[in-house]
């Protein structure tokens, strides 16, 4: 299992568009991908509704946990998404 922390960097928070991009990029992977808030609340990163239910704001830190056969490749994609601010 891989885990890494990231910070939301958007004045609009983690809104519909970045959540949609996350779901689109994570769905092809076999690994389980979870996004967790600091308070322990978590969501499946392949679920748009789940991600939106987290209500993440600008500056919040989240932890991404990935577990499965293709976890390394999935984490590389997650790192790129956060590095490029989900293409915004």
Beta pairing, strands 32-37 & 42-44: antiparallel
Q: What angle do CA 72, 83, 87 make, to 5 degrees?
A: 110
Q: Give me the pLDDT at residue 10, please.
A: 87
Q: Provide, rounded to the nearest whole percent, the portion of the chain with pLDDT above 70.
A: 100
37: alpha, beta or left, given left = phi > 0 and alpha = psi -120 to 50? Answer: beta
Please state the rounded mean pLDDT for residues 42-58: 97
**Which domains, and CATH codes, for the chain?**
2-87 (3.30.1340.10)
pTM, entire model: 0.94
> Active-site residue numbers?
15
Please state the rounded mean pLDDT for residues 4-21: 94
Contacts of 36 (CB under 8 A, 6+ apart): 42, 62, 63, 64, 65
């Amino acid at each position: 299992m891989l885990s890494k922390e990231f910070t939301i960097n958007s004045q609009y928070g983690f809104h519909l568009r970045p959540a949609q991009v996350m779901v689109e990029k994570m769905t092809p992977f076999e690994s389980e991908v979870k996004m967790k808030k600091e308070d322990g609340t978590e969501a499946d990163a392949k679920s748009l509704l789940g991600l939106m239910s987290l209500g993440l704001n600008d500056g919040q830190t989240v932890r991404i946990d990935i577990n499965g056969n293709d976890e390394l490749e999935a984490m590389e994609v997650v790192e790129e998404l956060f590095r490029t601010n989900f293409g915004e």
